[in-house]
Chains A and B, each alone.
Chain A
Amino acid sequence: MLSPLQFALLSLVPIGIVVLYFLKLRREPVEVPSTFLWARTIEDLHVNSLLQKLRRNVLLLLQLLAVLLAVFALLRPGQRGQDADQGRIVFLLDTSASMQATDVDGDESRFEKARRMIRERIDAVSANESLMLVTFSDRPEVLQSFTTDRGRIRDALDRAEVTNHPTDVFGALKAADGLANPRRSSELGDVNDIQVADAMPADLLIYSDGRFDEVSEFDLGNLVPDYIPIGTKDVSNIAITAFSAERNVEKPSEVQAFATIVNLGTDAISSTATLSWDDDKLSRSEAFRDAETVSLEPGEQVGLTFTLESEEAVSLRLALEVDDDLVIDNVAFAGLTPMRTVSVLLVTPGNKPLELGLRTEKAAKICIPQDVLPSYLESDEYKARAEAGLDDLIIFDRCSPSRMPNTNTFFIGALPPDMTLLPEDAEEDAGDETAAAEVQESDASDTAAESATGSPEDDSDPTPQNEGWSWATDPASVVLIDMDRTHPLMRFVEVFSLLIFNGRAIDGPPGSVELIGADIGPMLTVAPRAGFQDLVLGFEIVSTDAEGNPQTNTNWFAERSWPVFVLNVLRYLAGAAESSGAPSFQPGQTVQLRLESAIVDAKFRRIGGSSQTVSTGPSGLTEIVETEEAGNYRVESEDTLADLFSVNLFARSESDIAVADDVVFGYETVEGTTGGVEKRIEYWRWLLLIMLVLLGAEWWVYSRRVA
């Protein structure tokens, strides 16, 4: 409303127009034969000349109407109205997954209803109120900072989108709190005191279903909260809160899938849980694997187990065939990582069977071998890669490094170096070891010369020996008598028919496991080493005769079990197969993967979606941030699957969608309100529009020269 003075001033405007109308008249002179009759005419009108001038004066009438409308519009007439107490309003809009629930009448979802209610509130507030819009799920986002521009706040509201994320309201409260409650004060005028903004109290309107944890360590301070619950208490929702897949350690080809299903609604629900391959190349019937019916009372939960057969990487999808109020938790995804492509460094003076074994068709799918001579062990390059652990497996054939690398190892006919030596001593020994290696070769050649007889050579081997590892016997012919078939390294391996001309029994360090036993003692032993594993074979595959020519020490390479054993070494020792399932992340989380060092550029995609390129770091570390959608994600390199992971909500608090009656911030409990707004419909815009039309009509009338 206007003050009396303003009214008085405004009332002078139409009076001024009328006065100016009379004063401003410029009459065009016209000669007439005689003013005799005009004078008579004017004389008749003279009695009420003032009124006659005004009478039927369309122009004046239009101008007066226009001014009156403008004055009226300035008064901002409207229906009712509701002012914010603080003059500032912060809208907190919940965009978490639970806001996708459809238990609202008249709106598509809870989120759309909240958006509509905020829009109505924006229309109802007065023009001089500042508004701010913050959305929150598991992270806050300030879509629009304080503004009085209604258009900008509406645009920001239109940009808001619901997410698949869980809820964490604390960040949003901090954003609002930062403005309302400055943490320190300042002395005005004190040059030594850095001036800070004054506290700006604000109304805090929270449009949410309240499905978030209590925010106990938070003080509202100058924020005046108002919780507007969105949703209902009578809901229907059954959710998958856990789903994973694992390989059977004993039978790597067997995959087991585990799921937890819970009824978080207010009514009993029956549904069918359908398990299928998650593969967009398969039809629905081709992808189907298994199904199970669940019937749950409110609050009841059940666990399901499915068994599948697959040696390859698997992506699974479990879906509840039910139409409830929240659909995002009706589908879950899980995966199993495939055989990893591993990097294998083969250090050998020459071992054709082993080289071929690493390059079979199956081995080639999971292994990238590199062959080097034992002299490579002296290079700085080797030392660097051994230190960095760039290789997944290093095979030392008839040689040993001066220092154990930071990776799994496989020693053939040699022992790991003495780990008790100091690095410099190790280097000295490395030099000795190189010489020793050469001596060993010559010895090997001597051995080879005696290979026909199979008599072991006398040991004058100066090879330094690990404290944990040692030769238990002198070289002798070997007859294999025992084998641990349960160990993954020995899967599908038959060795009892092997001919071994020369070998030594092995004494491993504490914790070592004998895999193959011979008549003379352990012939194949695996032992842990600070997170790694070392496999030691007591006999050589290929040895060297006295002339230095390579010769075979066994016929294993000719047996069917040789490539199988090499494959087992790659799978188990090099880590080409893991038994655990692919990790699951929540929507929106950044996924960090460590890909094989051999992979430089990779592509990832959600099954059913499009591919995106992702680059790997020097250590194979990759970060993927586009994880908004739930599903199975595959990381591929050159059409080979490198890794996979899944994205699932798995948040019981989000699936429990019954709206909360109140929310707790610190020590304050905020009861829910209806959030209804008495709309203030202002007409001033319409009045101004009509005024513009009148001005146009006045111009038209004037131009037609009709007063």
Chain B
Amino acid sequence: MPATSQATPLLSPDLLARLERLELVSRKVFRGRMKGERRSRRKGQSVEFADFRNYVPGDDLRLIDWNLYARLDQLFLKLFLEEEDLHFYSLIDASESMNFGDPTKLHVAKQLAASLGYVGLCRADRVSVAALGPQGRSAPVLRGRASLWKMFQYLESVESGSNISLYDGVKDFSIRNSGTGVAILLTDLMDKEGYESALRMLVGRRMDVFVMHILSPEEIDPPLRGDRKLIDVEDGDAAEVTINSYVLEKYKQTVQSFIGSIKTFCSRRSIVYIPVRTDTPVETIVTRYLRERGVVR
């Protein structure tokens, strides 16, 4: 059932302080674009020349190869083999179904995205927090702690209602972002078209994929009884059901079965599946659950 918008701040100062001590963990070594604190295959500022790449505003000017500029009239950076930054993508499902619960799933997703994004910013990782769908096009690419306010600003502007399928949303993201990195998908996976295609796409992009499956307690154990006409908030689809203890039991089994199938799918594709309940504090999720699963350390 839809809930009101959350007026509480996304991250508390205490949480921010704790997040500074964390760092994002990737199970793969990616080629980052900027100097980071990670070993990368990419060339960096070391004695060993590795490669050139195009200049991007914000890059270190000392690494500009002026000779190439003189010849080609284009700015290039010399890259040397060294540790590079991580590209961290938080993909937020902003469909109408996320606007459910108290706090809403969308709010929890924002909080998680902000938390992980802050960890990345503190480590000078390249952070991209974007909502799936049209709202993701205006998502900024951030780096450095100073970009925190931009991230919060963007997250505050994200609203539910973009009833785009997961697959279409991920596809749109993939078109706009050709790089790889860590992709954390914050969603309830309540997509009638299925989640498999979207996840496969992310895996195909050689992303280090994490799925945070956000569900509210009312979805896991609905407090519904009697003769009901259930209306889907996304497509208006109606389902008439007489809810009794037996039907309820069956629904719970369906939920568990659904979760089980997701786990199986993810484990086969090296996707880390993290179930999240909206009634669990974000601090607990980030500092304990994500740490246990190796998302942060």
**Which A residues are closer than 8 A to B by beta carbons?**
25-42, 44-45, 52-53, 55-57, 705-707
Contact = CB atoms under 8 A, between A and B. Distances in A.
B233 A31 contact: yes
B205 interface: no
A32 B226 contact: no
Given A32-B1, A35-B237, A40 B258 contact: yes
B281 interface: no
Contact of B239 (A33, A35, A57, A705): A35
Interface in B232-257: 232-234, 237-242, 244-247, 250-251, 254-255
Contacts of A56: 244-246
Interface in B175-216: 188, 190-192, 216
Nearest to B226: A705
A49 to B, nearest CB: 10
A40 B192 CA distance: 11
Contacts of B227: 25-28, 707
A41 B232 contact: no
A33 B97 CA distance: 4
Interface string B248-287: 0011001100100000000000000000000000000000
A32 B244 contact: no
Contacts of B228: 27-30
B240 A30 contact: no
Contacts of B224: 30
A19 to B, nearest CB: 16
**Chain A to chain B: the 10 pairs with minimum beta-carbon distance, closest first:** A34-B190, A33-B97, A27-B229, A33-B100, A35-B232, A35-B239, A41-B251, A27-B227, A29-B229, A41-B254
Contacts of A45: 247, 250
A32 B246 contact: no
B231 A30 contact: yes
Contacts of B245: 56
Contacts of B247: 41, 45, 52
B187 to A, nearest CB: 12
Contacts of B244: 56-57, 706-707
Given A32-B232, A37-B255, A56-B246, A42 B226 contact: no
B230 interface: yes
A37 B97 CA distance: 13
Contacts of A55: 246
A707 B247 CA distance: 12
A27 B225 CA distance: 11
A421 to B, nearest CB: 119
A42 B190 CA distance: 16
B188 A33 contact: yes
A37 B254 contact: yes
A38 to B, nearest CB: 5
Contact of A44 (B232, B233, B238, B254): B254
Given A31-B233, A33-B100, A34-B190, A39 B239 contact: yes
A60 to B, nearest CB: 11
Contacts of A31: 1-2, 230-231, 233
A427 B232 CA distance: 132
Contacts of B48: none
Interface string B12-48: 0000000000000000000000000000000000000
Contacts of B216: 33
B231 A34 contact: no
B156 interface: no
A33 B229 contact: no
B167 to A, nearest CB: 15
B234 A34 contact: yes
Contacts of B246: 52, 55-56
Contacts of B237: 35, 39
Given A37-B258, A39-B239, 18 more contacts: A28-B228, A30-B229, A30-B230, A31-B231, A33-B97, A34-B192, A35-B230, A35-B232, A35-B237, A36-B192, A37-B219, A37-B254, A38-B239, A38-B241, A41-B241, A44-B254, A52-B246, A706-B244
B30 to A, nearest CB: 34
A41 B1 CA distance: 19
A30 to B, nearest CB: 5
B251 A37 contact: yes
B1 to A, nearest CB: 6
Nearest to B192: A36
A33 B242 CA distance: 18
A41 to B, nearest CB: 4
Most buried by B among A29, A30, A45: A30
A36 B250 CA distance: 14
Contacts of A25: 227, 242
Contacts of A36: 190-192, 232
B239 A42 contact: yes
A38 B191 CA distance: 13
A30 B234 CA distance: 13
Contacts of A705: 225-226
Nearest to B191: A36
Contacts of B230: 30-32, 35, 38
